[in-house]
Structure 1
Amino acid sequence: MNLKPIDQQVVAVMGASSGIGRDAALRFAQKGAKVVVSARSQEGLMSLVEEIRQAGGDAIAIPADVAQFEQVKDVADKTVEHFGRLDTWVHVAATGMFATFDSLTPEEFKRVIDVNLMGQVYGAMAALPHLKREGRGSLIHITSVEARRTVPFQSAYASSKHGVEGFIDAMRLELKHEGYQINVANILPAVINTPFYNKGKTKLGVKPTGIPPYYNPSLVSDAILYASEHEVRDYIVGDIGRILDIAQKISPALVDAGLLLIGFKGQKTQEFKAEEPNNLYEPIEGFDRVEGDFKSLEIPSFLDAIDKNPAATFGALAIAVLGGLALLGGFGGER
């Protein structure tokens, strides 16, 4: 697949005000791409564009709520109006809801689906006509290891991520069948240290957390930038995520047992947090940054190169799986 180098690309990043999206936008700009950033937080977008421009990059901001198709389409159309084309569409935007299933309202569950699933559907629908006109490009969807394995307290989030994986698998085949050189990449992060846990709505009574260990957002950005230049199907970020994916395929009952042991207490901090404020329906201020509050729980990931060179690293993965099946932590994949 003949994809452009990053310094020749126009890249749109949805969900760019904080976390993975913010880091990826900065990295694209550093490598010479022209960047369009979008999110609901206008304050976050303004500070991001200023940071990019001060470093010599070229970026514009277009605010949008991804749950509204016309707003998402506006981002794609204005990208082409301003820069002349669209080469890569990166969809990171997501919201979280931490609660038992029977404590959710229909409206809350639907809102998570509207943002996390329908937002990505709308993004692909808005970007594809422009990518098809160019004849090549990348659609990069950020899902989660939870697209493969659900954890307690996150039924709505996991449902949305399962749904994204379902529609992009079909879309990828359709584009290949039609002969388009459009890369459809599924990036599946494990638990990432971003402000996701500060912003999501919780009914747990305390600030939620991913089940440690955490990984740095830069690892996901590495995967995103790689997928913008190379054909990528599925790219799991974080060693524990890879182990979990294989464990789930081998024995879902084993993963059930592990989650019963650590999946409930492991997602609760000792810090009180009320349901409000949260970003389920509106953006909240104060979290327009890349990293979250769990830097001390971050660990390195050694197997992320598998998707860049599968043959050379197959043995390393086998060793890691055999040595790590007992480590059933690290579930999630948060923005």
Structure 2
Amino acid sequence: MQLKAISEQVVAVVGASSGIGRETALQFAKRGAKLVVSARSESGLKSLVEEIKSFGGDATFVIADVSDFEQVKAIADYTVSHYGRLDTWVHCPATAVFATFDNTTPEEFKRVIDVSLMGQVYGAMAALPHLKREGRGALIHVSSVEGRRALPYQSSYSSAKHGVEGFLEALRVELEHEKYPISVTSIKPSVINTPFYNNGRTKLGVKPTGIPPYYDASIVADAILYTAENPTRDFIVGDVGKILDVLQRLSPGLVDQILLLVGFQFQKTNEPKSEDAPDNLYEPIPAHDKVEGDFGNLEIPTFTDWLDKNPPLKWGALAAAALGVAAVLGWHPGNDV
């Protein structure tokens, strides 16, 4: 499967007014892609397009709420009418309610699902006809490590991300069966320093936070741009996310015990915040139309993402590690089994 160079692509980035989506749009534009950016926040989209044009990039915007299929379809249709085609669809929007399950209302749970799962579904539905007509392309969906392991206080968000993983797996196989050269990627970020924790509705009595450490949004954007040129099934962003994924595969019960120790107190700051405080569950918050969140002091670098973008070196390193373990255990090639 061969994807176009980014400089030759027309890209739609949905959820681009802030956080990962905004940083991703900026990076695509700097690499020469033509862009349609979308979100609910008109002010955020205008400032983003102005920033892109300030360094010579080519971008336009569409205001849309991803919980409405017709509005999502309008993004894809406008991209094709404006630029003549669609090569890559990047879908980022998500919202959250930080609360115990029994303190989450049916309406709140459904709204998180409508935005964070059904929005992703609508994105794929809207983009696919255009990608099929083009004969190739990439669907890149920003999921989460929570698509592999759910966290307390985030039952609705974790449910949405598990759902994203399910529909992408089914879709990927269907496209392979139909022999369409369309790459379907799930990007699974660890805890990222974006306005996500400012925007979410909280019933914890305080401003919520991710379980540290944090990573910079740029590493997620780097992974997205990599998968826009290199067909990739899954990309877990951040070393901690990869460790959590391995632990979950080995022993979910062990992860339960770890989360009992850190999953509750480490998702709470000391900053009081009422559940009546502004949140983006139904309306955008223009003040948060930026890439960074409030936890830059907790950011650390990542090391293993580079290996994921260099598969030969990654598998070589794994083989060397396996041989090292075998040597410690006294095994070497040729030993009778």
Q: Which residue of 2 aligns with 1:81?
A: 81
Where in structure 1 are there 5+ consecutive unaligned residues?
321-335
Q: Which residue of 2 aligns with 1:232?
A: 232
- In structure 1, give the amino acid aligned to 2:244: L
The answer to whether structure 1 residue 164 and structure 2 residue 151 are counterparts is: no
Let me know the Cα RMSD of the aligned residues.
1.3
- In structure 2, give the amino acid aligned to 1:38: S
1:72-102: CA deviations, max 9, x gaps?
0000001100000000000001101100000
Q: Which residue of 2 aligns with 1:272?
A: 272
Where in structure 2 are there 5+ consecutive unaligned residues?
322-337
SS at match of 2:232: coil
CA distance in 1, matches of 2:293, 2:317: 30
Which portions of structure 1, spanning 4 or more consecutive aligned residues, are displaced by more than 3 angstroms? 314-320
Q: Which residue of 2 aligns with 1:208?
A: 208
Q: Which residue of 1 aligns with 2:302?
A: 301
SS at match of 1:299: coil
- In structure 1, give the amino acid aligned to 2:190: A
CA distance in 1, matches of 2:38, 2:206: 30
- In structure 2, give the amino acid aligned to 1:44: G
CA distance in 2, matches of 1:41, 1:293: 20
Task: Map residues 1-335 of structure 1 onto 2, 5 A cutoff.
Answer: 1-276=1-276, 277-314=278-315
Deviation of the 1:316 alpha carbon:
5.6
1:35-88: CA deviations, max 9, x gaps?
000000101000000000111000001000000000000000011000000000
For normalisation by structure 1, the TM-score amounts to 0.94
CA distance in 2, matches of 1:319, 1:110: 47
Deviation of the 1:284 alpha carbon:
1.4
SS at match of 1:110: helix
Deviation of the 1:313 alpha carbon:
2.4
Deviation of the 1:10 alpha carbon:
0.4
Deviation of the 1:311 alpha carbon:
4.1
**Which of the pair has more CA radius of gyration?**
2
For normalisation by structure 2, the TM-score amounts to 0.93
CA distance in 2, matches of 1:23, 1:120: 19
- In structure 2, give the amino acid aligned to 1:46: K
1:135-166: CA deviations, max 9, x gaps?
00000000000000011000000000000000
In the alignment, is the contact (CA less than 8 A) between 1:18 and 1:44 conserved in 2? yes
Question: Which range moved further: 68-77 or 271-280?
Answer: 271-280
In the alignment, is the contact (CA less than 8 A) between 1:303 and 1:316 conserved in 2? no
- In structure 2, give the amino acid aligned to 1:79: T
Q: Which residue of 2 aligns with 1:327?
A: none
- In structure 1, give the amino acid aligned to 2:180: Y
With over 3 angstroms needed to count, the CA separation of the structure-2 counterparts of 1:193 and 1:278, relative to structure 1, is same
SS at match of 1:133: helix
Q: Which residue of 2 aligns with 1:328?
A: none
SS at match of 1:90: strand
Q: Which residue of 2 aligns with 1:323?
A: none
1:255-299: CA deviations, max 9, x gaps?
111000010000000001122300001111201110100001000
CA distance in 2, matches of 1:23, 1:238: 16
In the alignment, is the contact (CA less than 8 A) between 1:185 and 1:232 conserved in 2? yes
CA distance in 2, matches of 1:115, 1:130: 22
In the alignment, is the contact (CA less than 8 A) between 1:20 and 1:290 conserved in 2? yes
In the alignment, is the contact (CA less than 8 A) between 1:303 and 1:317 conserved in 2? no
CA distance in 2, matches of 1:167, 1:59: 30
CA distance in 2, matches of 1:41, 1:125: 23
Deviation of the 1:315 alpha carbon:
6.9
- In structure 2, give the amino acid aligned to 1:247: L
CA distance in 2, matches of 1:121, 1:14: 13
> How many residues in Structure 1 have an aligned counterpart in Structure 2?
320
CA distance in 2, matches of 1:94, 1:201: 12
Question: Which range moved further: 289-298 or 274-283?
Answer: 274-283
SS at match of 2:214: coil
State the identity %: 68
SS at match of 2:139: strand
Q: Which residue of 2 aligns with 1:331?
A: none
SS at match of 1:35: strand
Deviation of the 1:8 alpha carbon:
0.5
- In structure 1, give the amino acid aligned to 2:8: Q
SS at match of 2:270: strand
Deviation of the 1:2 alpha carbon:
1.1
CA distance in 2, matches of 1:87, 1:163: 25
